[in-house]
């Protein structure tokens, strides 16, 4: 296969500026790039992703969120470093204020520079004394970014990207940028595209339905009308808007400014062709893109299979747990029913206990009444035995209604017997078992002696021998 001598990579090798070795095999693979073309890109996600895709063939540098007006405007006068708790904020603000991107582009021998004006419409800008910088607080620079405390943003004028004022500024600095690049032998490639207005889903292509997308696309078209009218000496990489689709798995996530992955294949081909790279080299690098993508998809399929297996296992576990739950619920219901039955039985027993307690109380009252009658009879018998039937003592004893079986009753009747002259020594002398038991003679007589017809004696007027 003959080499295309007009190819910039090949011609550069012949001129001695670039040194490239090729295989002579029919597949025409690059064998080694001793010195590769240097590519400088500025902008947002699209230019950064494209730089990454062609990194196998070129030495690439990307400056995040730098725009043509930011790069070409004047550096800030005076102080350019402001300390922040986030060192990335301090570093990036310093790069913006000093226009480091412009210095790097001119001093490090780049062959190509490419940029994406569409990404400028993702945020707004600030201007002070001819110095233009990005708005750090819109979330595009980084999550939670804010101006350093010592940086007085109130001295700056805000420039909305969706305004004719910004378009005028852009056209002014774009012309200066093209002239500067031509003077330094750097080829300029500008990406022309629109925002994504549709999203790819499992149901097909669906409109995002966001009026702001249409509004921004209108401003993009207005900018390009001005660019086309200038007929500037730069290469325009026009990307068909039919491929401006986003998806859930798009690089940097689903969104207006984030096309789906296959968009970058299409844009990458066109970019490499615009740089003069041969079809064989484009095919070779494309092969790596597709192999890497298929490997990722196969890995995703394996993860999905593993996930499905795990999901099935978890579902079986869940079904078992649900079955166990239902069984425990049935046991719970049965236990509640049993508890209800026991509670009813307990309530019945409590009622029966209360009835029994009332019956016991009634029996105790009857027992006390019977005991009282028995005590009365015993008292009458004792008095009769003592020969006091005709005296007032028996009437007192009967009227007193004191049960003799109680200790108090024994004490009361013993006291009366003592008053009647009961001879305790005589009772003990004639009843040696009472003396041996060390018992109280009066109490013993009241309880037992009178019933057993034991010998006793009274002294005085009423001390008749019994």
Q: What is the mean pLDDT of residues 137-149?
A: 87
d(CA 320, CA 295): 37
Assign residue 144 a region: left if phi > 0, alpha if psi is -120 to 50, beta otherwise?
A: left
What is the structure's pLDDT at 278? 82
What pLDDT was estimated at residue 143? 84
| DSSP bridge pairs for 235 | 189
The tens digit of pLDDT for each residue in 243-294 reads: 889 999 898 888 888 998 889 988 998 898 888 888 888 888 878 887 887 8
pLDDT band of residue 1 (cuts 50, 70, 90) is very low
Q: What is the pLDDT of residue 12?
A: 35
- Tell me the per-residue pLDDT of 30-66, one tens digit each, with 9 for 90 and over: 333 446 889 999 999 999 999 888 888 889 999 999 9
Annotate 119-131 with three-state secondary structure: HHHHCCEEEECCE
pLDDT above 70 covers a percentage of the chain that reads 84
* Contact present, 162 and 117 (Cβ < 8 Å): no
Say yes or no to pLDDT of 401 above 70.
Answer: no
Q: Percent of the chain, pLDDT > 90?
A: 46
Which is higher by pLDDT, 305 or 30?
305
Once rounded to an integer, what is the mean pLDDT over residues 400-411? 61
Find the mean pLDDT for residues 344-361.
90
Domain limits of the chain?
36-277, 382-462
The mean pLDDT value of the chain amounts to 83
Tell me the C-alpha distance between 404 and 414, whole Å.
10
Closest by CA to 263, choosing from 247, 275, 274, is 247
pLDDT tens digits, one per residue of 15-28: 333 333 333 333 33
pTM of the model: 0.60
pLDDT tens for 418-455 read 888 889 899 999 999 989 889 899 888 888 888 788 88
CA 95, distance to chain mean position in Å, is 38
Overall average pLDDT of the 368-392 stretch: 63
CA 15, CA 446: separation in Å to the nearest integer?
151
Q: What CATH superfamily classification does 36-277 receive? A: SGNH hydrolase (3.40.50.1110)
Looking from the CA of 100 toward its CB, the CA atoms found within 13 Å total: 12
């Amino acid at each position: 296969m003959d080499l295309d001598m007009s190819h910039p990579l090949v011609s550069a090798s012949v001129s001695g500026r670039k040194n490239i070795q090729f295989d002579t095999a029919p597949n025409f693979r690059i064998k080694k790039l001793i010195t590769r073309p240097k590519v400088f890109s500025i902008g947002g996600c699209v230019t950064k992703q494209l730089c990454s895709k062609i990194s196998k063939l070129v030495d690439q540098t990307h400056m995040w969120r730098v725009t043509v007006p930011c790069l070409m405007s004047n550096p800030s006068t005076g102080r350019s470093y402001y300390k922040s708790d986030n060192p990335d904020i301090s570093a990036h603000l310093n790069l913006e204020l000093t226009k480091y991107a412009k210095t790097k582009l001119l001093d490090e021998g780049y062959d190509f520079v490419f940029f994406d004006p569409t990404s400028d419409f993702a945020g707004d800008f600030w201007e002070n004394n001819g110095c233009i910088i990005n708005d750090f607080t819109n979330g595009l620079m980084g999550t939670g970014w804010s101006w350093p405390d010592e940086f007085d943003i109130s001295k700056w004028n805000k420039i909305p990207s969706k305004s004719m004022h910004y378009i005028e500024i852009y056209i002014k600095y774009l012309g200066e940028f093209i002239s500067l690049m031509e003077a330094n032998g750097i080829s300029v490639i500008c990406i022309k595209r629109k925002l994504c207005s549709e999203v790819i889903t499992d149901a097909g292509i669906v409109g995002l339905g966001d009026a702001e997308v249409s509004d921004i696309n209108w401003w993009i078209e207005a900018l390009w009308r001005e660019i086309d009218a200038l007929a500037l000496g730069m290469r325009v990489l026009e990307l068909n808007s039919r491929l401006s689709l986003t998806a859930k798995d798009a690089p940097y996530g689903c969104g207006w400014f984030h096309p789906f992955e296959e968009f970058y294949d299409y844009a990458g081909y066109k970019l490499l062709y615009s740089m003069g790279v041969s079809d064989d080299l484009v095919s070779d690098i494309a092969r790596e893109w597709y192999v890497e993508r298929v490997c990722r998809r196969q890995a995703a399929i394996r993860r999905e299979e593993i996930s499905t297996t795990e999901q099935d296992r978890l579902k079986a576990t869940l079904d078992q747990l649900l079955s166990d739950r239902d069984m425990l619920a049935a046991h719970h219901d049965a236990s509640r029913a049993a508890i209800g039955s026991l509670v009813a039985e307990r309530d019945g027993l409590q009622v029966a206990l209360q009835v029994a307690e009332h019956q016991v109380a009634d029996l105790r009252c009857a027992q006390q009444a019977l005991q009282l009658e028995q005590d009365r009879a015993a008292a009458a018998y004792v008095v009769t035995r003592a020969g006091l039937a005709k005296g007032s003592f028996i009437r007192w004893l009967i009227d007193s209604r004191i049960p003799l079986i109680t200790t108090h009753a024994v004490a009361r009747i013993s006291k009366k017997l003592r008053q009647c002259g009961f001879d305790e020594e005589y009772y003990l002398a004639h009843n040696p078992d009472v003396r041996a038991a060390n018992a109280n003679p009066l109490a013993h007589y009241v309880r037992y002696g009178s019933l057993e017809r034991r010998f006793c004696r009274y002294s005085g007027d009423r001390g008749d021998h019994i």
